[in-house]
Amino acid sequence: MIDKKAVRKRMNTALDKYADYAPLISKKGDLVRIPKQETYWVNIQKLTCTCEDFRRHGANTPCKHIFMSVLWQNSKNHDE
């Protein structure tokens, strides 16, 4: 079951932090690289992430990195 509150929280965090992260994000094939203290990899096709939050909660509660990757990918497509 999807916990809407948990999803909304991660989405809001992603939106809040997106401007800081966006210039640092890069892409390698299907993998979006999100660097911070640790580097996380989001698979933009499968919508998976290598972070602890995703490992614990899985695809029903996408982590903030996944939301940021989708934002980044979409804004990138508009530029091209």
Site string for Zn ion, 3-42 (x = CB under 5 A): -------------------------------------x--
Distances (CA, A) of 79 to 19, 72, 73, 74, 75: 16, 11, 10, 9, 7
Q: How many residues form the binding site for Zn ion (CB under 5 A)?
A: 6
Q: Which of 32/65 has CB closer to Zn ion?
A: 65
Q: Which 48-67 positions form the footprint of Zn ion (CB under 5 A)?
A: 49, 51, 54, 63, 65
Angle, vertex CA 50, rays to CA 46 and CA 54, nearest 5: 80
For 58, residues 6+ apart whose C-beta sits below 8 A from its C-beta are none
Q: Which of 40/72 has CB closer to Zn ion?
A: 40
Q: Which of 58/78 has CB closer to Zn ion?
A: 58
**Percentage helix, strand, coil for the chain under 3-state DSSP, each rounded to 5:** 55, 20, 30
What are the residues binding Zn ion (CB under 5 A)? 40, 49, 51, 54, 63, 65
